[in-house]
Amino acid sequence: MKSAKPYIQENKQRFIDELIELLKIPSISADSAYKNDVIKTAEVVKESLEKAGCDLVEICETPGYPIVYGEKIIDKKLPTILVYGHYDVQPPDPIDLWDSPPFEPVIKTTDLHPEGAIFARGSCDDKGQMYMHVKALEFMTQTNQLPCNVKFMIEGEEEVGSESLGWFVERNQEKLKNDVILISDTGMIAPDVPSITTGLRGLSYVEVEVTGPNRDLHSGLYGGAVANPINILTKMIASLHDENNRITIPGFYDNVDDLTDAERAKMAEAPFSKEAYRSAIDIEDIYGEKGYTTNERNSIRPTLDVNGIWGGYIGEGAKTVIASKAYAKISMRLVPNQDWKEITKLFKNHFKSIAPNAVKVKVTPHHGGQAYVTPIDSLGYRAAEKAYETTFGETPIPQRSGGSIPIVALFEKELKSKTILMGFGLDSDAIHSPNEHFGIWNFLKGIETIPQFYAEFTKLSE
Ligand code: BES
Ligand code: MN
Ligand code: MN
């Protein structure tokens, strides 16, 4: 495979302009007010795949948002790469904290992106990273170098749990048959420290509701004599961690896969600066489970976090009231061997058991998924390693990430193939946050590296 560099240099401006057009459509899957925009985005993705050289592109209807499927099959005897990505994005709020409107992309330089970064919701997660694959395919077809078959499966519900994708994969095993799955929806350590993501955490997401009296009460007339659901809820939540920041739910750690000392030592070789970590998010000190490093805490260890909590009076001024109800949304990040359905059950039983009789507790599970780890001796991993060596001039570091792409474990179960996570975002790119951005250098480096993966994977498969 010839280097894509000259082709990228020639077409750079057009690539950026096309991505900017895609980023202008607010494909927010969580908010039904944007339904038409989500569907329109699927259309735009379809057209881009057609232009990039796919022979067949379809909008596949599902019970939810459509899945864009595309393929270019050049020879049944050659290996097939299945590219997965998502065209939906997170809601942009809190919108006031954006320096420019989330769906009016602008290019600005930052310390980590001296060549400029595109600021827009979805720029890094995942439209920008997904589009690298479309442009990599364009390069390979335009220069007659596509070495193997390729299938694309781009969904519109990743940010809300990928329910329809599970439905789709179960029903289309033959259509989706492949030799390796390739995803760019994660990050890398730093521009000069290439890394390949080898693990994703699982997830269990629940909502809890604590009910006290049947109506809001005067906090003077009743205060002290009835259970205040907000007091109780916060006390219950606080009890979910002990003094070492370990989770107190009985059985929670039972199946956790512990790493060997050798594996932990290997992990500790990845460059990490506590100072830089602290200052980037403006905290005085780090915090977490006793006995583990920051990198371990946010990748190989399970967690429990409150994502939102509400109840009572939050309007202007003061209102003396004991609310009838209090609520919280809680997520648990899981590691290999923890079963998310089992953990959800453990949480539910425990949370109900610690509630005093004075309140009623309801626990509603949302979505979840299993953790994933990929071996570093698979064909796919070795091909990715070689691809990075060619374009970065350095061997990439395997890195387990703290984020989740729950569908990846399901791919392995249903399609029986390994997933390679070639992410090009940086942790500081602010995905899910205001001012999300994606470096132009990263975008172009991805387009350059992906075709090398195709070539190496095809060679290793011979
Ligand atoms: N692309 C992210 C996941 C990610 C980001 C993994 C960076 C590793 C590094 C994905 O879009 C995402 O946000 N996933 C959700 C889970 C989903 C069920 C909403 C997450 O991790 O919170
Ligand atoms: Mn994503
Ligand atoms: Mn996301």
Residues 6+ apart with CB under 8 A from 275: none
Ligand 3 centroid vs 186 CA: distance in angstroms? Answer: 9
Find the ligand nearest to 127 CA.
Answer: 2
Mutate to test the pocket of ligand 1, among 405, 407, 420, 436 (most ligand atoms within 8 A of CB): 405
Task: Read off the amino acid at residue 230.
Answer: I
DSSP letter (8 states) at residue 89: B
Cα(389)–Cα(184) distance, integer angstroms: 17
Question: Does the Cβ of 331 fall within 6 Å of ligand 1?
Answer: no
pLDDT of residue 318: 97
Q: What are phi and psi of 313, to 5 degrees?
A: -95, 125
Which ligand is located closest to the Cα atom of residue 197? 1
What φ, ψ does residue 282 adopt, rounded to 5°? Answer: 60, 55
pLDDT score, position 328: 98
> Which pLDDT belongs to residue 151?
98
Nearest Cα residue to 163 out of 250, 278, 69, 86: 86
Amino acid symbol at 276: A
Looking at ligand 1, which atom is closest to the CA of residue 331?
Answer: 22
Determine contact, residues 84/411, Cβ cutoff 8 Å.
yes
Give the closest residue (by CA) to ligand 1 atom 10: 405
Rounded Cα distance, 178 and 419, in Å: 11
Give the dihedral sign, CA 443/447/448/452: positive
Among 278, 398, 257, 411, which residue's Cα sits nearest to residue 339?
257
Complete DSSP assignment for 176-232: T--SEEEE--SB-SBTTB-EEEEEE-EEEEEEEEEE-SSS-EETTTSTTTS--HHHH
Write down how long the chain is: 462
The CB of 41 under 6 Å from ligand 1? The reply is no
pLDDT, average across residues 261-274: 91
Q: List Cβ<8 Å contacts ≥24 apart for 263-267.
A: 264/296, 267/293, 267/295, 267/296, 267/299, 267/300, 267/400
Check pocket membership of 158 for ligand 1, CB cut-off 6 A.
Answer: yes
Alpha helix segments (H runs only) across 357-439? 379-392, 407-415
Task: Please tell me if the CB atom of residue 122 comes closer than 6 angstroms to any atom of ligand 1.
Answer: no
Could you tell me whether strands 67-72 and 149-155 are parallel, antiparallel, or unpaired per DSSP bridges?
A: antiparallel
- Pick from 84, 302, 327: which is nearest to 203 by CA? 302
| 125 CB near ligand 1 (under 6 Å) | yes
Rg for the chain, CA atoms, rounded: 23
**Does the CA dihedral 387-392-393-396 come out positive or negative?**
negative
Distance CA 279, CA 389 (A): 31
Q: Read off the pLDDT of residues 42-79 as tens digits, 9 standing for 90 and up.
A: 999 999 999 999 999 999 999 999 999 999 999 999 99
Indicate whether residue 185 lines ligand 1 (CB < 6 A): yes
Residue 95 has what pLDDT? 96
Tens of pLDDT, residue by residue over 97-108, are 999 999 999 999
Closest CA to 361 of 400, 330, 338, 393: 330
What integer pLDDT is reported at residue 130 of this predicted model?
A: 99
Peptide bond into 111 cis (omega under 30): no
Strand partners for 241: 247
CA distance 343 to 115: 44
* 126 close to ligand 1 (CB < 6 Angstrom): yes
Question: What percent of the chain has pLDDT above 90?
Answer: 97
pLDDT 10s digits, 399-429: 999 999 999 999 999 999 999 999 999 999 9
CA distance 39 to 77: 35
Mean pLDDT of the chain: 97
Q: Atom 15, ligand 1: which residue's CA is nearest? A: 404
Out of 126, 303, 307, 404, mutate this one to test ligand 1's pocket (max ligand atoms within 8 Å of CB): namely 404
Query: Which ligand lies nearest to the CA atom of residue 403 in the structure?
Result: 1
Residue nearest ligand 1's atom 4 by CA: 403
* pLDDT in the model for residue 309: 98
> What pLDDT is stored for residue 279 in this prediction?
94
**Is the backbone peptide bond immediately before 94 cis, with ω within 30 degrees of 0?**
yes
Rounded to the nearest angstrom, the distance between the alpha carbon of 158 and the centre of ligand 2 is: 7
Alpha-carbon span 129 to 17, nearest angstrom = 15
Q: pLDDT class for 369, splitting at 50, 70, 90?
A: very high
pLDDT band at 389 (very low <50, low <70, confident <90, very high): very high
pLDDT, one tens digit per residue, over 185-214 is 999 999 999 999 999 999 999 999 999 999
Closest CA to ligand 1's atom 5? 186
* Closest ligand to Cα 429: 1
The pLDDT value recorded for residue 361 is: 98
Q: What is the pLDDT of residues 320-359, one digit of tens each?
A: 999 999 999 999 999 999 999 999 999 999 999 999 999 9
From the CA of 425, give the closest atom in ligand 1: 7
CB 217 within 8 Å of CB 229: no
Q: What are the residues facing 439 on neighbouring strands?
A: 117
Distance, CA of 170 to CA of 140 (rounded, Å): 30
Q: Which amino acid type is present at position 120?
A: A
Binned at pLDDT 50, 70 and 90, residue 395 comes out as very high
State the ligand closest to the CA atom of 159: 1
The DSSP element (H or E) to which 150 belongs, if any, is strand 149-155
Q: Give the helix ranges, DSSP H, for 312-437.
A: 340-353, 379-392, 407-415
Residue 120: pLDDT band (50, 70, 90) is very high
CB-ligand 1 contact for 405 (6 Å cutoff)? yes
- Mutation test of ligand 1: which of 158, 183, 410 has the most ligand atoms closer than 8 Å to its C-beta? 158
pTM score: 0.94
- What is the pLDDT at residue 174? 97
8 A C-beta contact, residue 240 and residue 379: no
Instruction: Establish whether residue 128 lines the binding site of ligand 1, counting it when its CB lies within 6 angstroms of any ligand atom.
Output: no
pLDDT of residue 242: 98
Q: Tell me if 331 sits within 8 A of 307, measured CB to CB.
A: yes
